[in-house]
Structure 1
Amino acid sequence: MTIAVSRSAPGDLAEGAETKLRRADPVAAVETLDIRGLQPGLNDLTVEAEATVSLAADAGDTPETVADALADTFGVNDVTVTAVRAVPPDSADGAAVAGE
């Protein structure tokens, strides 16, 4: 994906990209974010990034649905989702496991 990061964003470039990605509706948390490229603009820097995110419960379950939802975020474009996988609830979080 590409993420437009304001030149006046607090922190470094990676923090700015991560902050913008965290604001996307389908994203519950950003697990990893790797900057792969950079293109300077007048008011912002556009970064090519590869990210692994935890999704909100209502984010969708297909790569196309998640990519579309991410691309609806201002400044996030050219999104390609390679996989969406379900993770079983963690009992340490107090989540109930089906059948128990």
Structure 2
Amino acid sequence: SFEDAIANSDVPILVDFYATWCGPCQMMSKILERVNIELNGQIRVMKIDTDRYPQIASSHQIQALPTLVLFKGGQSVDRIEGVLQAEQLIDRIGQFL
């Protein structure tokens, strides 16, 4: 399950809460691909479609899309709403690695 994956990960997990109809979410998808490559295994990126999994989005108080939530040790340690450029996102995540 989602919660088990978050709790049992040995690396921080960056969860991208998105929807297929969301333009900024589509932009963020490309940025996340680049971030994932640049951080090379230091984090795991997980995508949650809020239309398919509304209960997960609700339990994490997702109000805007895209929303990125960084989990470390099973706990939410950072939350970003909206689009960030890859460099900004890497800097922001870096403090938790």
TM class by shorter chain equals: under 0.3
TM-score (norm 1): 0.25
Q: Whose strand proportion is higher, 1 or 2?
A: 1
Normalised by the length of structure 2, the TM-score is 0.25
Q: Which has the larger radius of gyration?
A: 1
Where is the helix percentage greater, Structure 1 or Structure 2? Answer: 2
Greater length-normalized contact order (CA 8 Å, ≥ 6 residues apart): 2
